[in-house]
Amino acid sequence: MTPSSKPIVLLIIDTLMTRPLEEAIQNGYAPALKFFKEKGNYFPQMVSSFPTMSVTIESTLLTGEYSHKHRLPALIWYHEDEQRIVNYGTGIKEIMKTGFSQFVKDMYYGLNNVHLSRDVKTIHEELGKRSLKSAAINAFVYRGKHIHEMKLPPALRLTTGYNSTWKIQGPPIWSLGSFSKLSPFTVNPQIFSGNYKAGFRELKHLIRKNKLPPFTMCVIQDLDLRIHFKGPMDMKGIQKIDRELQKMLNLYGSWDNALQEATWIILSDNGHAPMGDRKDHHVIHLRKVLDGFTIMKGTTPISPKDELALAVNQRMAFIYCIGPNVNKNKVIEQLRGDERIDIIAWEEEGKNHVVSGVLEGKLSFWPGEDYVDEYKQTWGISGEVTLLDITIRDNQITYGNYPDALARLSSSLQSHQGNYLVVTAKPGYEFKEKASPIHVGGAAHGSLHKYESLVPMIVAGTDSYPKKERIVDLKEWILSLI
């Protein structure tokens, strides 16, 4: 298969899931997505990264590495050197708790310019080295080689006190909410990012002006918010996005022309697990589970008395042992006492360990040794493999409910500095810190489970496709097309 000289458009539809996508197509709600699916190759079970939160997934996609290499561990995490919580935007109450001004700086400057590791290169940076242009529309991860000057909108300058101009690194063509736009006619009702109509308007501007660069990444985020509160099978959001896709295809005169003029990759980043509807049962209050420990308050500097810090990412959480004399085994035992908690994992002396609030026993695993999984990764394993729903036959590892579980979990346990545990909730449940958002009766994501980890992808306009069906493997394939 020969590489394509056509521009590549990577359209990420946040939280597009396989079953509702297929039902929307079958019921006639999504003719544009049906066109792409029938004219291209369809991959219904692409493996996302972990935790299944957008900034970590975008980082994995753009760098071709899991979080132990790109160093963006989650949407919210604890910075050991600075002794504070980093929050890229989990919910307005939690943002206010951890500091609104600090959130703005972390999200719009720190994420790409400080926190994303310099040891990895994004697709935008790789293309910049080749003197090729690329574009990012509504993406939160976008680091490139071009220097942009970002000045906050007046409302944010007033509320944060940041009046200086930030020099940020991005691709030559960059659009993000009210910070930067390509078309003078794009109206962004949201300050922090554009809504789905604004995103498509920016993409259509490039198409109309015949200015699509070799690679464009456009992120459509609105569906995620609907699913959180409407549940996984909501169709209206898919229908609205498809209407915008139809308008985009119509710019080419015929839809078939669109496939001749560009290569299209339509991808989701994560799925959702349905949430239970009983707030008193399906919401796991970690402070209650860890009663007896002194837990850091996000609104104040760390206290010498603090023993633990919590960073809740919906159905996944980091639990940090920040006190010098914390009994980690006691933390683990208290977590194991709650049957709503699925996976409890930690790293110790080069090995990763897993226990559970659901099942008995302990699993340990480490890289190398004799067991080979379906991605040709080798592992040493001892203990109860049922904890991660793994099957081993003739030294071959098969994954069940937790796709690529060993690599994704191991990566998270090495994603940043600190003495911490990774915990996930059973489907139907999610974690809560004091101000973190909850989604009772709706849906949530973040965990290692296949509900959130397996997502659809459609590739049209090329006969090339990735060798492995994982988001972490897309970078190499995309670069091979250009």
Query: What's the token pair of residue 293?
Result: 């420990």
Q: In what side-by-side order are the strands of the sheet with 8-13?
A: 41-47, 454-460, 263-267, 8-13, 215-220, 134-137, 173-175
CA 221/CA 238 separation, integer angstroms:
12
- Mean pLDDT, range 453-465, rounded to an integer: 97
Three-state secondary structure string covering 10-52 = EEEECCCCHHHHHHHHHCCCCHHHHHHHHHCEEEEEEECCCCC
| Backbone phi, psi, residue 36, to 5° | -60, -40
| pLDDT recorded at residue 193 | 57
pTM of the model: 0.95
Sign of the CA dihedral with 83 first, then 88, 94, and 99 last: positive
Alpha helix ranges (H) inside 337-473? 405-412, 450-453
Cα–Cα distance, 227 to 19 (Å, whole number): 13
- The tens digit of pLDDT for each residue in 269-311 reads 999 999 999 999 999 999 999 999 999 987 667 888 999 999 9
Ramachandran class of 474: left when φ > 0, alpha when ψ lies in -120 to 50, beta otherwise:
alpha
For residues 315 and 317, what is the distance between their CA atoms, to the nearest angstrom?
7
Report helix, strand or coil for 245: helix
User: pLDDT band for position 192 (50/70/90)?
Assistant: low
Tokens of 122: 């994004």
- Helix (H) / strand (E) containing 349: none
35 forms beta bridges with none
Q: How far is Cα 146 from Cα 284, in angstroms, rounded to an integer?
A: 44
25's torsion region: left (phi>0), alpha (psi -120 to 50) or beta? Answer: alpha
The set of residues, in sequence order, having a beta carbon less than 8 Å from that of 44 and lying 6+ positions away, is 18, 22, 454, 456
Give the pLDDT confidence of 216-248 residue by residue, as tens digits: 999 998 787 788 888 878 888 999 999 999 999
What CA–CA distances, in Å, run from 206 to 132, 216, 223, 235, 364?
Answer: 16, 10, 23, 29, 50
Question: For 57-116, how does the pLDDT look when each residue is reduced to its tens digit (9 = 90+)?
Answer: 999 999 999 999 999 999 999 999 999 999 998 777 777 777 888 888 999 899 999 999
pLDDT, tens digit (0-9, with 9 covering 90-100), for 383-434? 999 999 999 999 999 999 999 999 999 999 999 999 999 999 999 999 999 8
Average pLDDT of every residue of the chain: 93
Structural domains of the chain sorted by starting position, each given as residue range(s) with its CATH number in brackets: 8-72+116-275+448-481 (3.40.720.10), 279-441 (no CATH)
Asked if 271 and 14 touch (Cβ cutoff 8 Å), the reply is: no
Look at residue 2 and tell me whether its pLDDT is greater than 50.
Answer: no
Residue 224 token pair: 């995620």
Task: Identify the burial level of 147 via C-beta atoms within 10 angstroms of its C-beta, where 0-12 means exposed, 13-18 middle and 19 or more buried.
Answer: exposed
* Alpha-carbon gap, residue 272 to 467, rounded angstroms: 26
Residues 6+ apart with CB under 8 A from 209: none
Return the pLDDT at 191.
53
Query: What residues contact residue 358 under an 8 Å CB cut-off, 6+ apart?
Result: 339, 341, 342, 426
Percent of the chain with pLDDT over 90: 79
Q: Take residue 89 and report the two structure tokens written for it.
A: 């935007």
